[in-house]
Amino acid sequence: MGNRLEGKVAIVTGGTRGIGKGIATAFVAEGAKVIFTGRDLTAGAALEEELGKNARFMPVNVANEIEVAKMVKATTDYFGGLNCLVSNAGGGLSAGAVTDMNTDKFWENFHVHVGGVVYGMKHAATEMAKRGGGSIINISSIAASRVEFGNFAYCGAKAAVSQLSKFAAMNLAPHDIRVNVISPGPVVTAIFGRSSVGAEAAENRMENIATVFKDLTPLHMAGRPDDIAHAAVYLAGDDSKYVTGQELLIDGGITNSRPAEEVAAMWGRIAHAAASPVSPSKPD
């Protein structure tokens, strides 16, 4: 690729697979030094070896503020600074509907999706302010504004991420710290099948899921982690130095086009695709 992030140091949470892996890979390809985090030690070690000397894996639970603070300090100690934080860690945790909600799972959603973002902004911004500024990119979701795209707790958590990020952008602007949000739509990752068939099997069924997504989007394309990673590279680099407090929806146009009942039916099709036998790969 190029050198749009040459000389920059970044953290990518939830970076061992899916969107986070795509962002970490793109950042290294563009010249950045990257600490990426996750909970899967095997996947983390494999990606660290793949990306080479400019990437290091660190196991971190983003719902724990102490671990997040240690993550920021380890990054500055190892690579000598911090220019960008991408808070991506999360998952499709379900707490049930309103009347049968599992309260513990509801708050687990918020601890991971909101707490992880807030702790990341707090500690990364403190470090960036000492060093002349930086870029914070929080990964939200189109579920922040369209309830059909997530469960009760997930939609609420992602809405909080989007709004808190905009507030932080104004609060941190005097320190030359930019805060922006990327809200992906349907992106082909194993998260959609992991709960039903397991992580390894879900990886092998992503093309089945891609077929569902292509049928739903006006562009007739399935979103890929690279589509999110390209936007993250832009927001991390100097080309976006005049951009802050913005939310970028990357969704193939689906939020503008599909009625609620059609989106609701999508989840049944995704579950079927995740459980179906693997079909031969076909180009988009």
Which domains does the chain carry? 9-187+223-252 (3.40.50.720), 190-222+259-284 (no CATH)
Burial class (CB in 10 A: 0-12, 13-18, 19+), 254: buried
225 vs 266, which has greater pLDDT? 225
- Please give the share of the chain, as a percent, with pLDDT higher than 70: 81
User: 152-172 and 116-130 helices cross at what angle (nearest 10)?
Assistant: 20
Mean per-residue pLDDT of the chain = 86
Is the pLDDT at 147 greater than 70? The verdict is: yes
**Model pTM score:** 0.86
Is the pLDDT at 229 greater than 90? The verdict is: yes
From 18-27, 163-172, 202-211, the region with the lowest mean pLDDT: 202-211
Most confident residue range from 50-64, 135-149, 197-211: 50-64
**Catalytic residue among 119, 154, 234, 242, which?**
154
* Separation CA 100–CA 252 (nearest Å): 33
Is the pLDDT at 153 greater than 50? The verdict is: yes
pLDDT, tens digit (0-9, with 9 covering 90-100), for 83-115 = 999 999 987 666 667 778 788 888 988 999 999
Q: Is the separation of the CB atoms in 149 and 141 below 8 Å?
A: yes
119 a catalytic residue: no
The total number of residues shown for the chain amounts to 284
Residue 38 phi/psi, 5-degree rounding, is 175, -175
**Which of 160, 161, 178 has its CA nearest to residue 169?**
178
